[in-house]
Amino acid sequence: MNKHHSQVGRRLQLIAIVLVAALVLTACGGDKNLRGGEDLPAAGAGAGNQQGDQGMGMQQGRDIDVRGLQGIDPDDRSMFTDPNNPLSTRIIYFDLDSSAIPSRFSESIQAHARYLSQHPNVSLRLEGHTDERGTREYNVALGERRAESVKETLVVSGASAGQLSTLSFGEERPAELGSSEAAYSKNRRVEFIYVK
Partner 1 sequence: MKNAYYRRVVGSLATLWLALVVALPAQAALQVDITDSAESAVPIAISPFGSDGANLPVDIAKVASNDLASTGLFDVLDRNNMVASPSRPDDVNYSNWRASSVDNLVVGTAESNGRGGYRLQFDVLDVYQGRSIARFTLNAGRNQLRDAAHTVANLIYEKFIGKKGYFLSQISYITVANEGGKQRFRLLVSDYDGSNPATVYSSRDPILSPAWAPGGQRLAYVAFDVARGRTSLRVQDLQTGNIREISAREGINGAPAWSPDGNRLAMTLSFRGNPDIYVYNLNTDQLTQVTNNSAIDTEPTWAPDGNHIAFTSDRAGQPQVYRMRSDGSQVERLTFSGQSNQRADYAPDGSAIAMVQKSGNGFRIAVRDLETNNMRVVSEGPLDDSPNFAPNGQAIIYAKQGRNNELATVSIDGKVRSRLSQSGEVREPAWGPLGY
Q: Tell the smallest beta-carbon distance from residue 99 to partner 1 (Å).
A: 9
Pick the binder of partner 1 from 1, 83, 103, 121 (CB under 8 A): 1
Between 111 and 147, CB nearer to partner 1: 147
Question: Does 176 engage in binding with partner 1 (CB under 8 A)?
Answer: no
Question: Does 88 engage in binding with partner 1 (CB under 8 A)?
Answer: no
Separation CA 28–CA 17 (nearest Å): 17
In terms of C-beta density within 10 A (0-12 exposed, 13-18 middle, 19 or more buried), how is residue 148 classed?
A: middle
Question: Does 182 engage in binding with partner 1 (CB under 8 A)?
Answer: no
- Give the CA distances from residue 180 to residues 131, 145, 151, 171, 176, in Å, rounded to whole numbers and listed in that order: 10, 23, 29, 14, 10
At residue 23, what are phi and psi to the nearest 5 degrees?
-75, -40
Q: Tell the smallest beta-carbon distance from residue 85 to partner 1 (Å).
A: 25
Between 83 and 177, CB nearer to partner 1: 177
Provide the mask over 153-172, with x wherever binding to partner 1 is found by CB under 8 A and - wherever it is not.
------------xxxxxx-x
- Give the CA distances from residue 189 to residues 61, 96, 120, 138, in Å, rounded to whole numbers and listed in that order: 16, 10, 25, 15
Q: Tell the smallest beta-carbon distance from residue 164 to partner 1 (Å).
A: 10
Q: Are 97 and 142 in contact (CB under 8 A)?
A: yes
Site for partner 1, residues 62 to 81, rule: CB under 8 A: none
